Structure 1
Amino acid sequence: MNHRIHYTHCPICNNASIQPSFFAEDFTVSHELFAIWHCNHCNGRFTQDVPDLSAIVAYYQSDSYISHSDTKKGFINQLYHSVRSITLKRKRNFIEQLSAGAAKTILDVGAGTGAFAFTMQQAGWQVSGVEVDTGARNIAASKFKLNFHLPEYLYQISPASFQIITLWHVLEHVHDLNGYMQIFHRLLTANGKLVIAVPNYTSYDAAYYQQYWAAYDVPRHLYHFSPESMAVLAAQDKFKIQQYRSMPFDSFYVALLSEKYKHGSTNLINAGWVGLRSAFKMWQDVKKCSSVIYVLEKLN
C-alpha cells in the first residue's frame, strides 16, 4: 500500500503551476530526504510525497519533539522553556485585545501539552482544546487538569460556538487543510477571529539557512507558507486577513536549531547574529518575521 501523497496541484490553492525546488532532510526522526515544491500561483510551498495521515504518526515519535513531550532535554529546549513564560503572557494579552469584551470562548487546536490553554483558563476564558497526540493529552491532564478532545470533536460542535480559535504552529501539520478552514468558519461567531501562527519561508533566516532551515521540519510540516499564500488560503475559505503580528523570539530559536542541522553543533554567536538580522528585517516589515501570526476575520 502506498502511504505517500503525490500532489499534482498545489494543496494550498489547487493550482497546477507547481515545480520542485529542493530537498530537505528530516533531522528529527528518520533523516530521510523530502522534496519541497513551489507554487507559482500563490507563492506557497509544500512537502511532496508526504506520508499520509496513517503513516505520518511515526515521524512524530521523538523525545525531542517538544510540543508533544514538553521535554527540557538539551540547551535549546531549556531555552524554549525559559522564554515560554514571556510568550504565553504576550499571547494572552494579544487574545484579550482581540476579544474586545466579547464572550470569552476559545478553541485551541493542536493544544499540545496545554500551557497556552491553561494560561487562558486562568484568565477567565472558557477553553476547549483539540490534540491528536496521546502523550501530549496525558501531560495536559496530569499537569493542568485539562481534558483535550480528539480532532473528531470539531465535527460535533454547534456552529458559532467560539469567539476565538487559535492554531499556534499547527496549520502546517493538518492534512485536510481547506476542510479544517471551513470547519473554523462554521465554529466562529459572526465577529469571531481565527488566529494562525505559522513559519514564514520568506524570512531572512529561511533564506540564510535554505534547506537546513529548521522550520521546514519535513515531513511533519506539510505546507510552507508565505504571507501571499496565506492570503489566498484565507480568501478561498471566506476569511480575510485583518492583521499581521510578529513572533520575535522565533527567529533566534529557529536559528539555533538550523545551526545544529547545518554544522552538527550550535554556534551561539552565529545563530544570535542570524536571529538578530532576521528580527531587524521583521521590525522593518512584519511580513518578514521568521514566524507570522495572522488574524483572520470571518466573511459571511
Structure 2
Amino acid sequence: MAYTTYFTHSQSVQNDYRDLGFLRRLKRALANGYRNKRFGTNLHPSTKLGVVFAYFSPGFRNLLDAERRCIPFGGRGHRLLDVGCGNGDFLLLASQAGWEVVGLEPDPKAAQAARNHGIDVRQDSIESLDPAIESFDGITLSHVIEHMHDPAAALRHCYALLKPNGWIWIETPNVDAQGHESFGPSWRGLEPPRHLVLFNRPSLFDLLRKIGFAELEDLPYRPLCDYLFKESNKIAGELNDQSSCATPSNLARKIAIAERRAKRNAGLREFVTVRAIKPAD
C-alpha cells in the first residue's frame, strides 16, 4: 500500500510553448540552447545565447545538468540503463540526446507510464540482467538504493553490467543532511515505510570504492533545502512535533542558512549525488 499513489505513476506534461508568456518563452529558449550544446539534443525553440547565459549563471546551468543527471555528451551508439525508472521521464530526456535507453521498474503502474513513451521498460529488478548477455555505458539510480533491502548487492551488479570506463550516477537522501538535523523524525528524506536504508556521503563513497569504482565525484550543488525544509515542516505540524515545527520567519532563516552551508559542503546537502567510473583495468 506504500506505493499505491506514488508520484512515479503519473506522466509529466510540459506546457505548450504558445501558451507561455514572453519571459517563460525566453527562459525555455535559453534552456534549450544550453541543452542542445551540452547534451547533443535538438530541442526547439532554442537560442545559442543559452550557452552564454549558462556560463555566467552557474545556478541555471547546474539545474539543467541535474535534470539530465549530468550525462556525458555524445550518447549516440551508447546504452544507458535507468534502475527504478518510474514513469520514464528521464529516459525520454536521455533518448533525445541519442542514448539507447533501457529502464527497470518493478511497479506495474509506473512501468506502463514509461512504456507510453515508447521506451524499453522491463518490469523486473537489476538482478534480472545477465552481464554475460548485455552491458551498458552508463547506469543511473535516482532515489532507488534507499528502497532496496541490499543496496550493496545491487551496486555490485551494476558494476558487473557496466562496460570498462562506464559510469554510474546515484542520488539518494543524505542521512547527514541539515534537514535531518533540524527536523529529526519529521525530515522528508526519511519517508517511512518506503525508505529502508539511508547513506551519508562517506558511507556511500566507501561502498562504491570497495566495489571497485574510481574517480568518485560530487555533482554540482543545486538548491534543495527550500522544498525539503518546507515539506519537513508540514510533516512536523501534522505529527504535532512542536520541537521541530518552525514559524514562517524562522523557517525562512533556517533555509537561507542551510543553503549557504550546503553550497560549501557536499556532506551536508539534502541528497548525496555522486558519479563514479568503472576502471578499464
TM-score, L = length of structure 1: 0.67
Q: Offset at 1:152?
A: 4.4
Q: Distance in 1 between matches of 2:95 and 2:76?
A: 16
Pair 109,267 (structure 1): closer, same or farther in 2 beyond 3 Å? farther
Query: Are 2:262 and 1:282 aligned?
Result: yes
When structure 1 is superposed on structure 2, of 263-272 and 117-126 the one drifting more is: 263-272
- Which structure has more RCO (C-alpha within 8 Å, separation ≥ 6)? 1
Pair 165,266 (structure 1): closer, same or farther in 2 beyond 3 Å? farther
Q: Which of the numbers 79, 92, 117 marks the counterpart of 2:68? A: 92
Letter in 1 for 2:71: I
Letter in 2 for 1:60: Y
Q: Which of the numbers 149, 152, 173 marks the counterpart of 2:122? A: 149
Contact 1:278 1:290 in 2 (8 A): no
CA deviations over 1:120-156 (Å, ceiling 9, x no partner): 01111110000111111111222x2224112246433
CA deviations over 1:40-74 (Å, ceiling 9, x no partner): xxxxxxxxxxxxxxxxxx3222x2x32334589xx
CA RMSD of aligned residues (A): 2.9
Pair 93,112 (structure 1): closer, same or farther in 2 beyond 3 Å? closer
Superposition map of 1:1-300 within 5 A: 58-61=1-4, 63=5, 65-69=6-10, 87=63, 90-92=66-68, 94-96=70-72, 103-142=77-116, 144-152=117-125, 154-159=127-132, 161-240=135-214, 242-246=216-220, 248-264=222-238, 270-299=250-279
Q: Distance in 2 between matches of 1:68 and 1:254?
A: 21
In structure 1, the gaps of 5 or more residues are: 1-57, 73-84
Pair 152,211 (structure 1): closer, same or farther in 2 beyond 3 Å? closer
Aligned residue-pair number: 227
Letter in 2 for 1:229: S
Pair 293,153 (structure 1): closer, same or farther in 2 beyond 3 Å? closer
Q: Secondary structure at the match of 1:111?
A: coil
TM-score, L = length of structure 2: 0.71
| Percent of residue pairs bearing the same amino acid type | 26
Q: Distance in 2 between matches of 1:266 and 1:140?
A: 39
Contact 1:242 1:296 in 2 (8 A): yes
Letter in 1 for 2:119: L
CA deviations over 1:235-279 (Å, ceiling 9, x no partner): 332223520124524322211210110013996655544333222
Greater C-alpha radius of gyration: 2
When structure 1 is superposed on structure 2, of 128-137 and 232-241 the one drifting more is: 232-241
CA deviations over 1:175-207 (Å, ceiling 9, x no partner): 232221121011111101111101112122221
Considering fraction of residues, name the structure with more strand.
1
